[in-house]
Amino acid sequence: MPGIMLNLPPVPLQLITLLESAGHAAYAVGGCVRDALLGQTPADWDLCTSARPEEVAAALRPHGITIHETGLQHGTVTAVIDHQPVEITTFRLDGGYTDHRRPDNVIFTDDLTADLSRRDFTVNAMAWGPCQGLADPFGGQADLQAGLLRCVGEPSRRFGEDALRILRCLRFASVLGFSIEESTSRALFDLKDSLAHVAAERIQIELTKLLCGQRARQTLLEYREVVFAVLPRLRPLSGFDQRTPWHCHDIWEHTCAAVEAAPPEPALRWAALLHDCGKPPCFFLRDGAGHFHGHAEVSETMAREILGALKCPKRMIERVAKLVRHHEMRLLEQSPAPAKLRRLLGAFGRETLLDLLELTRADVTAQAPEKLYRLENYQPLRTQIIALAAENPCVSREQLAVNGADLLPLGLRGPQLGQMLERLLEEVLEGRLPNERDALLQFLMLHA
């Protein structure tokens, strides 16, 4: 299909031109072609070629291009031009996948179609060259236009080769907003238990991308049993009737709605996914209504354990755990008084307080329709927090215009110093005293 034109950046275009000048076929391939056809800017460009790795090096090194042998056993080298790396892989056929991750061996080939036949989904099994145009032997462009994810060949074989493709399929459905073709969908459920063979880090990466997708809610709902295969501690949320007027959904439905209502940022989406995971063990009935006292603390503990098992970075775990722990603050119940807002700013800092506000907004959005009136407080409160933070108000003892040394001449020692500083901070937070040295010292003279 020579009529299809892609706007190839200079570096991959130069590499294709040099490989073709040396007598080899070369194409952009996979996700970069998919994204370009969708009108998006690819994050990176991968190339495939009929040249063997040593032939790639021989064609490019004389032109001053650095070649790193990053995956010779699978036919991959990385070419670097002006600090821009591009992976170049030889056309190949894959052997068996006994580890459910990588082929045991590969066979190099000169056949582009054979190389594309080993790829996961039709929308990722397209290649494009400046002269040849689009190579699309499996109907990837049609599936792209239809918003459909379909395995190349037999789905059970594709997922059996690399079980992570199961989560990749859900990730693409969520991120691209695509549906999943029927036989591919059946295979997802049939082979979900094979995800036990996949490393935790790889699962975490795919789940994070899934959670941040535009279609996260529908994907999590429709493929909940696949998600529970890797997050089994969330299974009790499904079908759990909350028995409360605040909710019109079961816990899993509420959770999925909250995920999609949160900003598409990893920590916030993970916090939305895990904020109510501790509800089932905390449930009790009183006067016919469901209650979940203490569930935020239980959810925090579970969130730490779940994210730890997925090998999430410690910084991410701490951020998510803090949001989960404090998601019950009910920030949108009413506009807080200035003193309370200063206390919250001192306790959490600007960014965490804004994150908590976003999580609260997502939580409320996913509740019963008659409770949505509280969302009216969201924008005014957000504006108030940003304005207050910009004033850099005194919200901690360290920011007071006096310190412990100023209290020593008054005869205060030991715990008395800390108690008096706390009292000064209280007066400042409540707005009864300005954070000015003379005013604070005058207060000390009268009350020390």
pLDDT digits (tens, 9 = 90+) for 275-299: 999 999 999 989 888 888 999 999 9
Residue 45: count other Cβ atoms within 10 Å of its Cβ: 25
Q: For the chain, give the mean pLDDT.
A: 93
pLDDT, mean of residues 391-414: 87
pLDDT, mean of residues 321-325: 98
214 pLDDT tier (thresholds 50, 70, 90): very high
Q: What pLDDT shows up at residue 1?
A: 45
Task: Please tell me the distance from the alpha carbon of residue 281 to that of residue 298, in angstroms, as a whole number.
Answer: 8
Q: What pLDDT shows up at residue 100?
A: 59
Does residue 237 have a pLDDT over 80? yes
73 pLDDT tier (thresholds 50, 70, 90): confident
Does residue 360 have a pLDDT over 50? yes
Task: Please tell me the distance from the alpha carbon of residue 4 to that of residue 301, in angstroms, as a whole number.
Answer: 52
Is the model's pTM score more than 0.85? yes
Q: What pLDDT shows up at residue 101?
A: 64
pLDDT digits (tens, 9 = 90+) for 303-315: 999 999 999 999 9
pLDDT digits (tens, 9 = 90+) for 113-147: 999 999 999 999 999 999 899 999 999 999 999 99
